[in-house]
Amino acid sequence: MASRTLSRPVLRKRAVTALLYAALVLFAVWVLFPFWFLVNSSFMTPAEAVAVPPHWIPEEPTLGNYSAILAGQVAPGGAQVGLRVLTALGESFAVGILTVVANLALGGTAAYSMSRFRFRGSRLSYFSVLFARLVPPIAIVAAFFVALRDLGLINSRYGLVVVYISLTLPITILVLKNYFDGLPRELDEAALVDGASRLQALWYVIRPIARPGFIAAACLVFLESWGEFFYALTLTNQLTIPPVLAGFRGFFQFNWTTLAAATVLAVVPPVLLALVFQRYVVRGLAQGVAK
């Protein structure tokens, strides 16, 4: 009887563990199945993609969709928009990198000042910056359009960079301020005693130590600018990759395989970025929580 009584908690624990693993497997299938279907479709011909019953594995895998896009040719099935994929990928890289550089320069100094200086209204200014993330994009897109039109930046990468800076700067300030708060102030004081200015202390002393925070902020900003759709659609003529992918549906001759190949090409950079720098992102985001 005693052994039977003792075995019940063990059985209950094993049952709970089995249910958790089953839930994780179902969640993984739910998350990964669309991506698998996307990659699978990118290796199909247009005729095979619409076959009935559907083919879950390509019978005759082909790289025609990728080669047509990478070579700058008309994609199989006549989707002329495939010619713009490489250009859009290049513009997305340029916009993302410029946005990251501007964010680290502006957000880094702003986060450092908010972390190290206490003045009347400092907390209000900090939360005001964070509150900007709550403003719906559709509420301010008209103001952005008028401003960029007057500056001659409509349908340009620099116009998008200006908009994306305002969109992503709160993320940079949030991540870096939390990281700076976890660093001892004695580091700054030692640099000031040695004759360094505040900016020199930030650049030569704090920046190397806060490298994980800067990398985490850079990754988050790049991913945000890479996948942003609304402003790229309304303020440019399909300049970056998200509106170009959406533009596939605007052509009469359209096939899913070309769209699948273009989407895979668009997904690869952010996935690689997340895999390479995930350790820094975790450390950068956890610093403010652990302090």
User: What pLDDT does 218 receive?
Assistant: 94
Q: What is the pTM of this model?
A: 0.84
User: What pLDDT does 1 receive?
Assistant: 46
User: What pLDDT does 2 receive?
Assistant: 47
Q: Please list the alpha-helical segments (H only) found in the chain.
A: 2-42, 46-49, 64-70, 85-116, 122-131, 137-151, 157-181, 186-193, 198-201, 207-209, 211-227, 230-235, 241-247, 256-290
Q: What is the mean pLDDT of each run of 10 residues along the chain (291 residues)?
A: 58 86 93 89 83 81 83 58 79 95 94 87 84 88 92 92 93 91 87 87 90 92 93 88 80 71 90 88 68 50
* Residue 9: both structure tokens together: 């908690």
Q: CATH number of 80-290: 1.10.3720.10, 3.30.450.40, 2.60.120.380, 3.40.430.10?
A: 1.10.3720.10
Question: pLDDT, tens digit, for every residue of 79-124?
Answer: 555 667 888 999 999 999 999 999 999 999 999 998 888 878 778 8
CA distances from 41 to 6, 64, 77, 161 (A): 53, 12, 14, 33
Residue with tokens 């659609």: 233
Q: Which of 131, 105, 90, 95 is nearest to 225 (CA)?
A: 95
User: What pLDDT does 172 receive?
Assistant: 93
SS3 label, residue 38: helix
Q: Which of 153, 41, 21, 179 is nearest to 98 (CA)?
A: 153
User: What pLDDT does 228 receive?
Assistant: 93
User: What pLDDT does 48 receive?
Assistant: 81
**DSSP-derived secondary structure letter, 229:** -
User: What pLDDT does 289 receive?
Assistant: 52
For the CA atoms of the chain, what is the radius of gyration?
Answer: 25
Sketch the domain layout of the chain as residue ranges.
2-70, 80-290
